[in-house]
Amino acid sequence: MTSTTPTSAPAPRTGAPGTAGAPSAADSGTWVLGDRTVHRLGFGAMRLPQTGRALVPGAVPRDREQAVSVLRRARDLGVNHIDTAAFYFSPLLSANELINRALAPYPDDLVLTTKVGPGRDPSGRWLPHGAPGDLRGQVEENLRQLGRDHLDVVNLRVVDEGSVAEHFGALAALRDAGLVRHLGLSNVRAEQLEEARSLAPVVCVQNPYGLGAAPGQDALLRLCGEYGIAFVPFYAIAGRGRQNGAAGPGREHLPPEAVGSGASAAQIRLAWTLSRGPHVLAIPGTGDPAHVDANVAAGALRLGAPALAALDTLHVRLGRERAEEEARTGPSASADGR
């Protein structure tokens, strides 16, 4: 099977990140994703094509040159793992095409991870989830937009609790055909991961996770670690704000042991997320060049034991409150295709 293992990590640092010159994604450590070594602090492209809420019809397009500059800045800071999808677009901009314009010809160390399953029509409205026979077309759409002849990693986005065998089997066939190098899963449960692993190697699981995440996600994170599978949280900063942007606790609501580092609330949340295991990879997204530097700097932040313990306690409490709320009102509907 494909090896997915951690490699060397930098010497731990404490205190506010980014205070000694430009930050570097290398400070977050590395992980071997399939057969490619990536820095654990990556970049998510969902927010690039628009300002404000993402993945909705009529989203306000971002300035094209600003989006391109964000991608190039991320690369300058050592980011070599970018998460994207063909359905990340606004009326005028597509994340994949922005990546192509900003970064092609692609550096040898750059790993582009895409996802398939969801689809949007040209106006931005969601289409029915793709059937197994639709996945080749979705893979080819990503290839066209990115200007590639193969995709490094493709995640199957799952939208229900049923079997993933037909869909994942279709992707495994595309891997055998050479269109895809490695396969992953997104928004899955443990039993779906087990089913997929029986069909083909799984190199990553991309699920919603961060401070206050649903309690079941912690068990899946640990299971991925046992299998040597990368766990890649999305919405680690946005939390329950999802495609609307950050909605997690601000500095005033974080434990005093954590805010003493001088880092921002977003940086603390990212650093805590990375602390959950050497197999955890973060992919914070932004369209703001200044936020790129701040996010990458979070990869160098090493929270001390008192701060981690206090944040762990907060995580459990927020997760319990979330579970109690969803028991009363039902789980939040997924309206973003993730």
b vs e for 26-48, b when ≥16 Cβ sit within 10 Å of the residue's Cβ? bbbbbbbbbebbbbbbbbbbbbb
For this structure, is 88 an active site residue? yes
118 in Cβ contact with 146 (< 8 Å): no
Angle at Cα 34 formed by Cα 28 and Cα 38, nearest 5°? 20
299 in Cβ contact with 259 (< 8 Å): no
Token duo for residue 14: 């404490």
Name residue 32's amino acid: V
DSSP H stretches of helix in 288-304: 289-298
**Sheet order of strands, 204-206 included:** 43-44, 81-83, 111-116, 151-157, 180-186, 204-206, 230-231
Residue from 88, 209, 227, 235 carrying the catalytic annotation: 88
Residue (of 154, 164, 160, 162) closest to 199 by Cα position = 164
Token duo for residue 127: 């289409």
Number of helices (H) and strands (E) in the chain: give both, helices first: 10, 11
211 in Cβ contact with 311 (< 8 Å): yes
Cα–Cα distance between 145 and 98 in angstroms, integer?
Answer: 9
Asked if omega into 105 is within 30° of 0 (cis), the reply is: yes
Active site residues: 88
